[in-house]
């Protein structure tokens, strides 16, 4: 399924729900019984960056607050391990699974296995391929940001700062993940509308700092004329800053960098003049995740996409907001 049809499918599902034609009930989305307390699973993708650590913390804090038992797994960057983590949660008979699917296609079997076992799944922060599994049918809902819009906003910040003239290196997130697909789409489309902006290289740094540093180093050697870097997350932006400094270039001056997330390190880099801006992607899912599960247990119709809204951090507010950053 193309990226365009992915969005269209989500919007169509939203429209169907608004019209009261939610196919979920007809097709047997597993219910969640009303109980005093629950045992729920949270299948995390990896823990190698502050965003993931903040998300896990938020889920654990909320579980404690609710008095629910949380079965936590860390897939350590492997979609195959994440599938087996979900299978083990099914074997432990959890009441519901919060899943952050590392990649869009490989996690489909996990979603389907949970459905077959009668365990509802709520997708957190990343989605799955909508041609293979649908919200309200195969899983309850997707809670997360509009990644296409995040990419578009990153592009707009860069266009503004460069007067629409830049030679860009793009550092993509994890290949096959929904944020990497959609952040690329939103950015690339917006940039294409400007004749002075060109993307000369685009490669995955797997959302990781050191991989981002290595990829930036190679791409900067191949494209010494680059004047801007767009990183799909802050960790790779931090890697790009390190690569630039190692090459004797000044990040923020010789090469302008823009990214997404809003980590403490990124806000500090903005204060230091090394990072132009970062579009927020808030990792604190705990309250919304548990509230959505409780609404579902009450028998409420859940919208197919529970949309997180994102702020924007740049030199105008980074210093003031850094105390709250993770
Ligand atoms: O931007 C990144 C993380 O899926 C939205 O994954 C999330 C992204 C986030 O590893 O830092």
Q: Phi/psi zone of residue 141: left (φ > 0), alpha (ψ -120 to 50 degrees), beta?
A: beta
**Average pLDDT of span 87-110:** 98
Residue of minimum CA distance from atom 7 in ligand 1:
125
Residue of minimum CA distance from atom 10 in ligand 1:
207
Beta strands in 77-235 (DSSP E): 96-99, 121-124, 141-145, 166-172, 197-204, 228-231
pLDDT tens digits, residue range 54-71? 999 999 999 999 999 999
Ligand 1 within 6 A of CB of 179: yes
pTM exceeds 0.85, yes or no:
yes
The CA distances from residue 118 to 35, 95, 113, 138, 230, in Å, are 16, 9, 9, 11, 42
pLDDT band at 40 (very low <50, low <70, confident <90, very high): very high
The terminus-to-terminus CA distance of the chain in angstroms comes to 35
Same fold, 3-145+284-309 and 147-281: yes
More confident residue, 198 or 27: 198
Q: What is the CATH code of the structural domain delimited by 147-281?
A: 3.40.50.2300
Ligand 1 within 6 A of CB of 265: no
Ligand 1 within 6 A of CB of 51: yes
Does residue 21 surpass a pLDDT of 50? no
Does residue 191 surpass a pLDDT of 90? yes
More confident residue, 140 or 12: 140
Ligand 1 nearest-atom number relative to CA 144: 5
Ligand 1 nearest-atom number relative to CA 261: 1
Ligand 1 centroid to Cα of residue 177, in Å, is 9
Domain ranges of the chain: 3-145+284-309, 147-281
**Average pLDDT of span 88-101:** 98
- Between CA 41 and CA 92, with CA 72 as vertex, the angle to 5 degrees is 50
pLDDT tens digits, residue range 171-187? 999 999 999 999 999 99
Q: Can you give the pLDDT at residue 11?
A: 52
pLDDT band at 18 (very low <50, low <70, confident <90, very high): very low
In angstroms, the CA 128 to CA 170 distance is: 23
The CA distances from residue 32 to 40, 119, 294, 297, 317, in Å, are 11, 8, 9, 5, 42
CATH architecture of the domain with range 3-145+284-309: 3-Layer(aba) Sandwich (3.40)
Does residue 22 surpass a pLDDT of 60? no
Does residue 300 surpass a pLDDT of 90? yes
Q: Can you give the pLDDT at residue 28?
A: 79
Does residue 81 surpass a pLDDT of 50? yes
Ligand 1 nearest-atom number relative to CA 260: 1
């Amino acid at each position: 399924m193309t990226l365009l049809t992915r969005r269209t499918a989500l919007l169509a599902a939203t429209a169907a729900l608004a019209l009261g034609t939610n196919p979920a009930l007809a097709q047997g989305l597993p219910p969640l019984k009303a109980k005093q307390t629950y045992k729920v699973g949270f299948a995390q993708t990896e823990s190698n960056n502050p965003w993931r650590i903040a998300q896990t913390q938020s889920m654990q804090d909320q579980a404690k607050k609710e008095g629910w038992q949380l079965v936590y797994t860390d897939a350590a960057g492997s979609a195959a391990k994440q599938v087996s983590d979900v299978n083990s949660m099914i074997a432990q008979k959890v009441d519901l699974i919060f899943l952050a699917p590392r990649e869009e296609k490989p996690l489909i079997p996990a979603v389907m296995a949970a459905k077959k076992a009668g365990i509802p799944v709520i997708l957190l922060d990343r989605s799955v391929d909508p041609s293979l599994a649908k919200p309200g049918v195969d899983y309850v809902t997707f809670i997360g940001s509009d990644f296409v819009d995040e990419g578009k906003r990153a592009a707009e910040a860069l266009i503004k700062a460069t007067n629409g003239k830049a030679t860009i290196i793009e550092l993509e997130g994890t290949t096959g993940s929904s944020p990497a697909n959609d952040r690329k789409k939103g950015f690339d489309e917006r940039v294409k509308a400007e004749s002075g902006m060109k993307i000369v290289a685009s490669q995955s740094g797997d959302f990781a700092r050191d991989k981002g540093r290595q990829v930036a180093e190679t791409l900067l050697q191949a494209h010494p004329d680059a004047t801007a870097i767009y990183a799909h997350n802050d960790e790779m932006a931090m890697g790009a800053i390190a690569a630039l400094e190692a090459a004797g270039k000044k990040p923020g001056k010789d090469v302008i960098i823009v990214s997404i997330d809003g980590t403490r390190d990124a806000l500090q880099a903005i204060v230091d003049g090394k990072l132009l801006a970062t579009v927020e992607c808030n990792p604190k899912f705990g309250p919304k995740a548990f509230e959505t599960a409780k609404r579902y247990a009450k028998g409420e119709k859940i919208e197919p996409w529970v949309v997180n809204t994102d702020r924007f951090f740049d030199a105008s507010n980074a210093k003031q907001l850094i105390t709250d950053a993770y």
